[in-house]
Structure 1
Amino acid sequence: MADSDAHPADLPECPSAQSGGLLHPELRAWMVLLAATGAVEQRLRAVVKERLDVSHDEFLVLCLLAEQPETGLRMTRIAELLGRPKTRLTYQIACLQHAGLVSRRSVCGDKRGIEVTLTEKARRLLAEASGGLADTVKEALAQFMGADQREAMCGLVPDLVEEPEGR
């Protein structure tokens, strides 16, 4: 069986999570964070598609907008926060708008500025899916990280699940 087919709990701990190498602790921590983020994104892709019927990148846009209770965000700000090209974001916003999940409007006093906001439909879908998506994140982190990394991550994710049995 190829490594990519193995269950995450069957895989060895991330090499960057082990100390004693050449990297300073800050760089080692950064590598662990990147690897953990990759593991979470991989698990979330399928769950997001199944529950919300959007791509992972579109989901990230929805998450940014969900943190704006009544207002939206300018498209340039979304692009900055996600580190995405504005042309790619324009396509994603168009897909989300077509699905009835966001609305766009011109920014008052700025002809070129476009503000994007969540629709009530998107707010309802996110509220319904949020708990299951949070569980997916916690499970992915728990399966990827060793005990020390899990302890450190609990500062950010207090409900992180315990290490899977057999690891």
Structure 2
Amino acid sequence: MADSDAPTADLPECPSAQGGGLLPTELRAWMVLLAATGAVEQRLRAVVKERLDVSHDEFLVLCLLAEQPEAALRMTRIAELLGRPKTRLTYQIACLQHTGLVTRRSVCGDKRGIEVALTDKARSVLTEASDALAETVKESLAQFMGPAQREAMCGLVPDLVEETKGH
């Protein structure tokens, strides 16, 4: 069995989830969140490449655009939301445009503003791949997140459990 396929019980305990260190609960939870995110991204990269034939960073752009109620987002807003340099984003958007997954257009009344939107092709490809991508995320988190990690995550948002019980 490959390391990435090992059940959670075979994985070493995440040091940040153990507690007893110098970090307060919130920082310990943040470290668990980063580790979980890393585990998901590592497994998701291959599935994204296979199913969508785009890089992981390009996939994040597509996901961000797919979740917007409006059809388009300004490039500066995408860069801000993803924490990416604008020059790097320009290259990623050009790659996505070349493959027919996004369109770019000038913002009306703003010479420098550029809006990016998903194409119908991108919507179709994302819809077709979404079950496999969601399953990859779910499996990755299930593999990483044992009881100690879930408990540590509650340290980041302690009221979350109570809020969800009330609704």
With the length of structure 1 as denominator, give the TM-score of the two structures: 0.85
Distance 1:150 1:138 in 2: 14
Distance 2:73 2:90 in 1: 13
Could you say what secondary structure the match of 2:58 adopts? helix
Give the fraction of aligned pairs with identical amino acids, expressed as a percent.
82
How do 1:132-147 and structure 2 match up within 5 A?
132-147=132-147
Distance 1:59 1:88 in 2: 14
Which stretches of structure 1, 4 residues or more, deviate above 4 A after TM superposition? none
Q: Which runs of 5+ in 2 are unaligned?
A: 155-159, 162-167
1:117 paired residue number: 117
1:48 paired residue number: 48
- Asked if 2 retains the 8 angstrom alpha-carbon contact of 1:13 and 1:145, the reply is no
- Asked if 1 retains the 8 angstrom alpha-carbon contact of 2:102 and 2:116, the reply is yes
Question: What count of residue pairs does the alignment treat as equivalent?
Answer: 151
Q: Which runs of 5+ in 1 are unaligned?
A: 157-167
The one-letter code matched in structure 2 to 1:32 is: V
- 1:58-103, Cα deviation, whole Å (9 max, x unpaired): 0000000001244210000000001100000000000000000000
The one-letter code matched in structure 1 to 2:24 is: H
Distance 1:21 1:150 in 2: 18
Q: Which has the higher helix share?
A: 2
Could you say what secondary structure the match of 1:84 adopts? coil
Distance 1:94 1:40 in 2: 26
- Asked if 2 retains the 8 angstrom alpha-carbon contact of 1:107 and 1:113, the reply is yes
Distance 1:82 1:45 in 2: 17
- Asked if 1 retains the 8 angstrom alpha-carbon contact of 2:18 and 2:148, the reply is no
With the length of structure 2 as denominator, give the TM-score of the two structures: 0.85
The one-letter code matched in structure 2 to 1:6 is: D
1:81 paired residue number: 81
2:3 paired residue number: 6
Distance 1:95 1:19 in 2: 44
Distance 2:44 2:79 in 1: 21
- Asked if 1 retains the 8 angstrom alpha-carbon contact of 2:72 and 2:115, the reply is yes
Could you say what secondary structure the match of 1:20 adopts? coil
Does 2:32 correspond to 1:32? yes
- 1:81-140, Cα deviation, whole Å (9 max, x unpaired): 011000000000000000000000000000000000000000011111111111101110
